[in-house]
Chain A
Amino acid sequence: MPATHTPAHVDPRGPRFGAAVTTVVLAAVLVLGPSLGLPLLIIQTFAFGAGSLLGLRYQPYGWVFRRLVRPRLGAPVELEDERPPRFAQSVGLLFAVVALIGAFAGAPVIFYVATAFALIAATLNAVFDFCLGCELYLLGRRLLGKPSLDASQPVGGTAR
């Protein structure tokens, strides 16, 4: 397990590259349908799972970015906190698992709807650098009132 007490920092272009790959993979999954597309959907689910549960450095598309793409781009202007893109991976994982359940249970509507939502989120991330899961996070917290994602790192505020 990676150290979780200090938030890791990543090259922001990595998650964006990953989102572009994810967009292509999910589009292919949808075109192939719930049976032919199943192997690709399983691969994508594992990719989301690795990024979400283990950390972004274990996300296979991020690994491809670091090994093959980043050496050609040069150093990033700045690094970003790993938590937002990692949370986005968790949202993707949720959709992918629902899509898998739909495919295995013989419920194509669930498969198509869940995969389509994941595709919309990935496209927004790849094209607009917009993280849907991150935007919905606070709304979800307000509705559920669950304990925080990581309360150990207070934002640099001074309001008391």
Chain B
Amino acid sequence: MTGLYVVGLALVVALGFGVYHKAVDGRVRAVRTGAASPLALEAELGGTATLVQFSSAACAPCRMTARVLDEVSASTDGVAHIEIDAEQRLDLVGELGITRTPTVLVLDGGGVVRSRMVGAPRRQDVLAALAGLADHGRATNANSAAA
């Protein structure tokens, strides 16, 4: 009898977590930091934005994510895509607080991390994050022009 309860509990946990994970995975979260990321010092950045993807060998969704980001960077002017093997760069992983692969950081033209997507992001979410970057850039320019 115990076994039946354990099976039931395990299935409820698995299905609950699976549904929750599907809902939140890859969603864009804004990041509030003023400083340029350490990545900016060592990588060739895109003119308007850089998509920095942390991947690992034991990560199937990373392949799919790389394809989506490659497409986006190829079809959008000034957007670069960099893929970093997290296992090779545990220093950056620690510094940037990466816990899972894939994690994608969206850097603006100045190399500042502006948003973060943990898990495989949807194409439209990546495009929205890039659009948000452009809007914010315009707002900042307008403000400085007004001042």
A contact residues vs B (CB 8 Å cutoff)? 7, 12, 27, 29-33, 37, 80-81, 83-85, 87, 108, 112, 115-117, 119-120, 123-124, 127-128, 130-131, 133-135, 137-139, 141-142, 145, 148-151, 153-160
Bound complex: CA A148 to CA B86 (Å): 10
- Interface size classification for chain B: 35 or more
- Partner pick for B57 among A81, A130, A142, A158, CB 8 A cutoff: A81
CB distance from A100 to the nearest CB of B (A): 16
B4 nearest in chain A by CB position: A31
Taking the closest CB of chain B, its distance from the CB of A85, in whole angstroms, is: 8
| A155 engages B18 (CB within 8 Å) | no
Selected A-B contacts with CB under 8 Å, 13 pairs: A7-B57, A84-B58, A108-B2, A112-B6, A119-B10, A119-B11, A120-B17, A124-B18, A137-B58, A138-B101, A141-B87, A156-B66, A158-B43
Contact at B43–A12, with CB atoms within 8 Å?
no
Q: Which residues of A contact B63 (CB under 8 A)?
A: 80-81
Say yes or no for B22: interface residue by CB 8 A criterion.
Answer: yes
- Beyond A138-B87, A138-B98, A138-B100, 10 additional pairs, beta carbon < 8 A: A37-B3, A108-B2, A124-B17, A124-B18, A137-B58, A145-B90, A155-B55, A155-B57, A155-B62, A156-B83
Q: How far is the CB of A32 from chain B (nearest CB, A)?
A: 7
B56 part of interface (Cβ distance < 8 Å):
yes
**Cα A128 to Cα B10 with chains together (Å):** 15
B2 and A135 form a contact (CB under 8 A): no
Per the bound structure, the CA–CA distance linking A153 and B11 in Å amounts to 36
Contact B10 A120 (CB under 8 A): yes
Interface residues of B (CB under 8 A from A): 2-4, 6-7, 9-11, 13-15, 17-18, 21-22, 39, 42-44, 52, 55-60, 62-63, 66, 82-88, 90, 93-94, 98-101
CB-defined contacts of A12 to chain B, threshold 8 Å: 60
Query: Which of B6, B17, B44, B52 is close to A30, meaning CB atoms less than 8 Å apart?
Result: B6
**Minimum CB–CB distance for A137 against chain B, Å:** 5
Contacts of A159 in B (CB 8 A): 39, 42-43, 52, 82-84
